Amino acid sequence: MKITTILLVASSFLLSTACGSKRMNNDSAQEQPGLDASRNLVIYYDKDTGNDQLLEAVQTFGAEVVYLYDALNGVAISIPDDKPMEDAINYFEKIAGVTSVDRDGMMSIQNQMEK
pLDDT of 15-46, one tens digit each?
555 555 555 554 444 445 445 678 999 999 99
Locate the domains of the chain by residue range.
21-103
Q: Which of 12-16, 52-56, 74-78, 82-86 has the lowest mean pLDDT?
A: 12-16
Give residue 36's pLDDT: 61
Q: Which CATH number fits domain 21-103: 3.20.20.70, 3.40.220.10, 3.40.50.300, 3.30.70.80?
A: 3.30.70.80
Helices (H), 51-112: 52-61, 85-93
- Is a pLDDT exceeding 50 seen at residue 91? yes
Is 11 a residue whose pLDDT tops 70? no
Least Cα distance to 67 among 38, 99, 36, 42 occurs for 42
- What is the Cα 18 distance to its own chain's centre? 14
Q: What are the pLDDT digits (tens) for 39-74?
A: 999 999 999 999 999 999 999 999 999 999 999 999
pLDDT at 53: 97
Looking at residue 110, its pLDDT comes to: 76
Contact indicator for 40, 79 with CB cutoff of 8 Å: yes
Label residue 27 left, alpha or beta by phi (over 0 means left) and psi (-120 to 50 means alpha): beta
Residue 112 has pLDDT above 90, yes or no: no
What was the pLDDT predicted at 22? 54
Question: What pLDDT, on a 0 to 100 scale, did the predictor assign at position 26?
Answer: 44
